[in-house]
Amino acid sequence: MRTIRSEEVEQAVYRLAEEACLGIIPSCMQAIGEAADREEAGSAAQFALETVLLNARTAKAERMPVCQDTGYAVILAEIGQDVHIEGALLADAVNSGVRRAYEDFRFRKSVCDPLTRVNTADNTPAALHTEIVAGDRLRLTFLPKGFGSENMSRLYMLTPSQGVQGVIDSIVETVRLAGSRPCPPVVCGVGIGGTFDTCAFLAKKALTRELGTHNPRADVAAIESEALERINALHIGPQGFGGKVTALGVLCEVAPTHIAGLPVAVNIQCHCMRAARTEL
């Protein structure tokens, strides 16, 4: 049994929020750079991507949030089952780290009551997902999730007869219906299988993967590649201005499902892919 103080968790979340909101992850920067090279010289699409790259460099140099939507704070905590957290409740420690970071680093507070729309004024609560894993470490991943892209996400309850084709069609349809709205080129986090709720979580978890990686299962990796190709054939293009690159990547995660179902969740991420992780 290893003891971790809740104050360590709070401080880790605080630092992760800062790191995540100030920049686009390197694998995504690289993908945007490659996309800019692929677009027609002088096109609005290329202008959009070059502006995005310049913005990321400016944000880094001036320590400004890369996007003003510093997001709903999504935190994945993978807790070794030999860890004991001492002090405050885990959720309270996480929320306290978020609250302090969004105030100190002057990030936008974007969380409100769903009905009255009154802002909670400190960007809490965070969306905290916990998983119990082997070992005595605590791994934390921070995803500031913007809602321009979150709004364009979808969940399909397909039937088994729709199969792999149905899965790919659902991914492509989600991006087509989103059109110019989610800040394309997008990244699709896709959950395949599980239940209604775990499928959506898988889609979110897929977005913690690096761009350019493939699911280790060959059949799943093939879905990622075919879906990406079909999405880019839509020619929505950067910012919806038309062009060759509508998505930078499709990341799929799978889990066993019920014999009667085939859930597919597509979580859309804008080109501004942000994440930070640490291990305590």
Binding site for another protein (CB under 8 A): 44, 47-48, 51-52, 54-55, 58-59, 62, 64-70, 106-110, 117, 119, 121, 148, 151, 179-183, 235, 239-242, 270-272
Contact, 170 vs 250, CB < 8 A? no
Sign for the pseudo-dihedral over CA of 159, 164, 167, 170:
negative
Radius of gyration in angstroms for the set of CA atoms belonging to the chain, rounded to a whole number: 19
**Which residues pair with residue 97 across a beta bridge?**
none
- Least CB distance to another protein at residue 148 (A): 5
Burial of 48 (0-12, 13-18, 19+ CB in 10 A): buried
Angle formed at CA 69 by CA 192 and CA 230, multiple of 5 degrees: 35
The residue length of the chain stands at: 280
Task: Name the residue type at position 126.
Answer: A
Cβ closest to another protein, residue 270 vs residue 275: 270
Cβ closest to another protein, residue 88 vs residue 241: 241
Question: At which residue do the structure tokens 């945007």 appear?
Answer: 32
Cβ closest to another protein, residue 113 vs residue 219: 113
Cβ closest to another protein, residue 251 vs residue 268: 268
- Provide the terminal-to-terminal Cα distance of the chain, rounded to the nearest Å: 14
- Least CB distance to another protein at residue 235 (A): 7
Cβ closest to another protein, residue 8 vs residue 122: 122
- Least CB distance to another protein at residue 24 (A): 9
- Least CB distance to another protein at residue 57 (A): 9
- Least CB distance to another protein at residue 28 (A): 11
